[in-house]
Amino acid sequence: FSPSLQNLRKEKSRNAARSRRGKENFEFFELAKMLPLPGAITSQLDKASIIRLTISYLHMRHFASQGDPPWSPLLEGENNCSKGKCAQTSHSLVTDIFEQHLGAHLLQSLDGFVFVVSQEGRFLYISETVSIYLGLSQVELTGSSVFDYIHPADHVEMAERLGIRPHLRAEAGCQTSHESASSSASTSSLAGTPEPAPSSPCSPGSEFSERGFFIRMKSTLTKRGLHVKSSGYKVIHVTGRIRCRPALVPGSSRPLHRPMGLVALAHTLPPSTLNEVRMESQMFVFRVNMDLQVTYCENR
């Protein structure tokens, strides 16, 4: 009688655990369907990716609503319509349908990809066109640290542009060959706990909020556009603007604007070869080895 009772309790415990897993999987499935991604993608996501993308989406909503100027023209239009100040016409319906797909049309026409990085250095959004230029996935990058995908020598440059102070050595921007593997690994993961620098006031319309710089980002594409397992780096020209948020300061009548993150457009630069360099009449070509000994020089 005792063994059968024990087996019954084990079976009941297994059924309860199976029921809990089923309910948990259902909740994750429902949460994934709420993400602004195609169903073919959300159905393949694991639980960790669903949580990461959901957190990024919530941060992106806060980023869009709190910044200056606001990014909610559609919401403002809905409020006006609720007050009876707009009438739905055939022209407005066509305009609304076009506006829904305007972002996709713009992304396809741009020679690059768009991304939004928080002040902590995490991708809040990156367009799906990043796969065309870098071979990386939008789902993989969203919510991840930008420092995990740029060259270690460019970490300091990126941190300065975002206004954060990562936990780095002063010479982290120029690593030497005799550094140990542990030190380089710690440098590559510097974005895990970045330290925000004291945010200085910025004006949304000022030139101080504009950013333009070059970094090297990971790429799994070869010169012919084929995917490779081992990732290399591509030079990216980043142009954008720091998005600010109005903040009231005690004792001040005027609100200051605190930086929230970077909104940028990235262009990939093709690797230049010696044959592509324009040679002027006063220039000549020579080649040296690693010991800086001249191995070849043009007659002129």
pLDDT at 117: 93
Predicted confidence band of residue 225 (pLDDT cuts 50, 70, 90): low
The one-letter amino acid at 39: G
pLDDT at position 123 is 94
Residue 218 has φ and ψ, to the nearest 5°, of -65, 145
Q: Answer whether residue 221 shows pLDDT above 50.
A: yes
Residue with tokens 């928080």: 118
**Does residue 257 or residue 42 have the better pLDDT?**
42
Q: Give Dmax (Cα) for the chain.
A: 103
Instruction: Please give the DSSP secondary-structure letter assigned to residue 223.
Output: T
pLDDT of residue 55: 93
Tens digit of each residue's pLDDT (9 = 90 or more) over 144-155: 999 999 999 999
Quote the percentage of the chain above a pLDDT of 70.
Answer: 68
Strands (E), 144-209: 164-165, 195-196
What span, in angstroms and rounded, lies between the C-alpha atoms of 258 and 261? 10
- DSSP string computed for 125-148: EE-TTHHHHT---HHHHTTSBGGG
Average pLDDT taken over every residue of the chain: 75
More confident residue, 199 or 291: 291
Task: Tell me which range, 167-171, 233-237, 252-256, is most confidently predicted by mean pLDDT.
Answer: 233-237
What would the mean pLDDT of 168-197 be, rounded to a whole number? Answer: 41
Contacts of residue 147, Cβ cutoff 8 Å, sequence gap at least 6 = 121, 155, 158, 159, 166, 188, 189, 190, 191, 194
Mean pLDDT, residues 204-222: 78
Residue with tokens 């262009």: 267
Residue 247: CB atoms within 10 A of its CB come to: 13
State the pLDDT confidence band at 163, using cuts at 50, 70 and 90: confident
Q: What is the pLDDT of residues 90-112, one digit of tens each?
A: 566 666 666 777 777 777 777 88
Report the pLDDT value the prediction gives residue 274, as an integer from 0 to 100. Answer: 55
Q: List CB contacts of 123: < 8 A, sequence separation 6 or more.
A: 56, 115, 116, 117, 141, 142, 143, 144, 145, 146
pLDDT digits (tens, 9 = 90+) for 55-66: 999 999 888 888
CA distance 86 to 99: 17
